[in-house]
Amino acid sequence: MTGPEWFPLRAELADVLSDGGLDPAAVELVIRRALDEDLALGPDVTTAATVPAGARATGDVVPRSPGVLAGVPVAAAVFGIVGGGDVEVTLHAADGMAARTNAPVLTVAGPTRSLLTAERTALNLVGHLSGVATLTRRWVDAVAGTGAAVRDTRKTIPGLRVLEKYAVRCGGGVNHRMALGDAALVKDNHVAAAGGITAAVDAVRAQFPGVPLEVECDTLDQVAEAIAAGVELVLLDNFSIADTRAAVALARPAGVRLEASGGLTLDRAHEVAATGVDYLAVGALTHSAPVLDLGFDLR
């Protein structure tokens, strides 16, 4: 890494991250890489020129618009890694809570130079993650009462998957695969390579018998074949409402779960969920979530 030597992640912040199901070491690595990106070409010249070396300040991270919070302790960790023990961090809100306009979620106090150097990285992370959580909550609210859950995908920003999927959980969604090894998802290219759905399912079962298995289907005939092959979960790719209902009728007697995917929009979410599917797969949760606007204000 090309940046300066940062301070280690403080134990109390590591505990907060761990309590949220995050690996503190992985979060710290993301933060260090982001900070190094900002300082790869030298120090923060604007801050160094305008802020006296001994100056100290207190600042607040404040939402400019309502939403759902995610990444508040991550932002706190950014300030701590830049300023070390000389920065005091106070969390006012927990991830998953509502972000209230102009109500501080985080206060930091310490050397002004450290605070301003950390500002943009902290806001980038908490703003993006809160945006993911906010969009997820909209989808969760849209399918309320149907029994269906909103699930994410692997359409994540490289390097941020763990944090983005954490933000989905903060918004009330559930995670699908974290990586390629924790579950098998047989898609059209796998079917073509294996010579059919049944052949693909048999191949996965033979080599990885304990791995959860899902098959993507484009037609009702493929759904019937996947069910006959003994899969636990079928992904319905771009099915109409009528065909989705028909797939539910096929799957329910066999105890097979269904996941709707492709072409889903918020205004159609409840209608799709009401067909009886178990999940809605929504790649937009992570690849298209608008950033929640938060600012950092020195007092």
pLDDT at 5: 75
Q: Residue 98: what residue type?
A: A
pLDDT at 125: 98
Question: Strand pairing partners for 111?
Answer: 56
Question: Strand pairing partners for 234?
Answer: 215, 258
As a whole number of angstroms, the distance between CA 151 and CA 183 comes to 14
Low-confidence ranges of the chain (pLDDT < 70): 1-4
Instruction: For residue 98, give every residue at least 6 positions away whose Cβ sits within 8 Å of its Cβ, in sequence order, or none.
Output: 66, 67, 68, 69
Phi/psi region, residue 181 (left: phi>0; alpha: psi -120 to 50; beta: rest), is alpha
Cα first-last separation, the chain: 33
pLDDT at 1: 37
Query: What are phi and psi for residue 163, nearest 5 degrees?
Result: -70, -40
pTM, two decimal places: 0.95
As a whole number of angstroms, the distance between CA 182 and CA 180 comes to 6
Query: What are phi and psi for residue 105, nearest 5 degrees?
Result: -105, -15
Could you tell me the two tokens for 262? 């492709």
Could you tell me the two tokens for 153? 């995908």
Are 203 and 234 contacting, i.e. CB atoms less than 8 angstroms apart? no
Q: Which candidate, 285, 283, 269, 279, places its Cα nearest to that of 147?
A: 279
| Other CB atoms within 10 A of residue 2 CB | 8
Segment (H or E) for 12: helix 11-19
pLDDT at 23: 96
As a whole number of angstroms, the distance between CA 129 and CA 139 comes to 16
Query: What are phi and psi for residue 246, nearest 5 degrees?
Result: -65, -40
Cα dist. 133→53, 167, 241, 288 in Å?
A: 38, 5, 27, 12
Could you tell me the two tokens for 46? 């604007």
Instruction: For residue 217, give every residue at least 6 positions away whose Cβ sits within 8 Å of its Cβ, in sequence order, or none.
Output: 197, 223, 226, 234, 235, 236, 237, 247
Catalytic positions, written as ranges: 120, 155, 187, 216, 237
Question: Strand pairing partners for 237?
Answer: 261
